[in-house]
Amino acid sequence: MTRKIVSGLLGVVIALAVGALIMFFQGYEPFATYAALAQFSLGGMAPLTTTLKNAVPLVLTGLSAAIAFASGPVNLGQPGQLVFGALAATLGGLYINLPPALEIPLLMVFAILGGALWSGLAGLLRQAFDMSEFIVTLMLNMIADFFTAWAIAYPFMDHKAFSPMTPRIAQSGWIPDLGPLNSSVLVLIAAVAIMWFVFQRWRAGYEWRITGQNSLFARLGGCDVRSNFMAVMLVTGALAGLAGGLVVMGGPHRFIKGLGANYAWDGIMIAIMANNGLIETLIYGLFVAAIQTGALGMELITNVPSEIAQVLQAVLVLVIVATREYAALIFDRLAARRQASVRKERAA
């Protein structure tokens, strides 16, 4: 546990140092840049709540990837599942108008179903034709991308707008702000808590974990690996779909072209940084959200382009993963040397 924290912190520090070097050689001032980054992501109520809101799709897609990878299925379809969830929530919000207490949960269910539909398709193709979900989910991302682009440019386009987008969803489906904080953050916290409980305490979660580590053992132990596979695909698709729904309901309140952005790919990176740990995904997701949020403000007061945030993010992933593996090696070797020297003294 302490090892995990030490190697994680070490990774972040080294990554920030590498980022500083890159900025330095580009002729920027690293410390001023980091100060601006921190100020616009964490320095005050408004930046902090923006960071939290931006963390919602990152952590949810990260959770989706982490649970999938830790349970076996290589679901890389979060981008497609996210836009499908967003589209489903948007369509619900366009045609159904209920009081907010019903409308908001309903649209979230729509988003969940939309994401699960798209991942479930990949799961079915795997079970029926043994098609690798790794490649199928990637391909389905493309289809989802173009399908939603078509949907918002033709059947569901807002004819008053100049670029492809749907009209606004019913106002009762907008996720309200609680003071400065968008309440989609509460949904995120609930989702993390529920998923942790499912993964760590449910019988299904136990079987998912074991299957992810050694599926033959799980199978011989009597776990139904086929239905578990399908369940994991559906749940992880649902999480990505929910992320899409919350983006629509908490933000532009409509499906705008390019809505999915890079959320899902960033989420997959976060899962990799977190080594598929659920709590770790939450922590790294918040961290990445802070960098992305801060970068936008930073651009305003320094002459550093906000793209540096992407560079920083890439460096983070590489350094954190490398540090984790290397730190484990070094910790082990240090322990070994300590013991050998004790032996030597005793022998002498």
Partner 1 sequence: MNDFISLERIVKVYPPSVLAVDSVSVEFRKGEIHSIVGENGAGKSTLMKLLYGLIPFDSGTVKMNGAPVRFHTPGDAIARGIGMVHQEIELIPQYAVWENVVLGAEPVRGPAGTLDTKRAIELVRQKIDEFQFNLDPLAQVDRISVAARQKVEILKLLYRNVSVLILDEPTAVLTPQEIPQLFAELKRLRDKGNTILFISHRLDEVLELSDRITVMRKGKKIATVAASETDKEALAQMMVGRQVIFTSKRTPHARGASVFEAKNLSVARRDGLKKLDDVSFEVRAGEIVGIAGVEGNGQFELVNSIMGLAAPSAGTVAVGGRSLSGLSILERRKLVSFVPQDRGKMGASLAASILDNAIMTHHRLEARFAAWRGLVLNYKHAREFADTLAKRFSVQMASRQNQFRSLSGGNQQKVILGRELLLSTPFFLMDQPTRGLDVGSIEYVHGEILAMREADRAVLVISADLEELFLIADRILVMHRGQIVADLKTEKTTIEEVGRYMLEGRVSA
Interface with partner 1 by CB under 8 A: which residues?
201-204, 206, 209-210, 213-214, 216-224, 329, 331-337, 339-341, 343-344, 346-347
How far apart are the C-alpha atoms of 243 and 264, rounded to whole Å? 9
CB of 233 to partner 1, least distance (A): 19
Nearer to partner 1 by C-beta: 13 or 335? 335
CB of 337 to partner 1, least distance (A): 7
Nearer to partner 1 by C-beta: 5 or 300? 5
Nearer to partner 1 by C-beta: 94 or 223? 223
CB of 7 to partner 1, least distance (A): 14
Nearer to partner 1 by C-beta: 31 or 197? 197
CB of 216 to partner 1, least distance (A): 6
Nearer to partner 1 by C-beta: 42 or 328? 328
Nearer to partner 1 by C-beta: 171 or 213? 213
Polymer length in residues for the chain: 348
The residues, any chain, with a CB within 8 Å of residue 286's CB and separated by 6 or more, are 51, 52, 55, 59
Token readout for 153 is 């440019």
| DSSP-assigned beta bridge partners for residue 256 | 165
Largest CA distance in the chain: 88
Handedness of CA 60, 63, 68, 71 (dihedral sign): negative
CB of 9 to partner 1, least distance (A): 20
Q: Decide if 53 contacts 41 (C-beta within 8 A).
A: no
The residues, any chain, with a CB within 8 Å of residue 27's CB and separated by 6 or more, are none
CA atoms within 13 A on the CB side of 191: 31
How far apart are the C-alpha atoms of 214 and 72, rounded to whole Å? 9
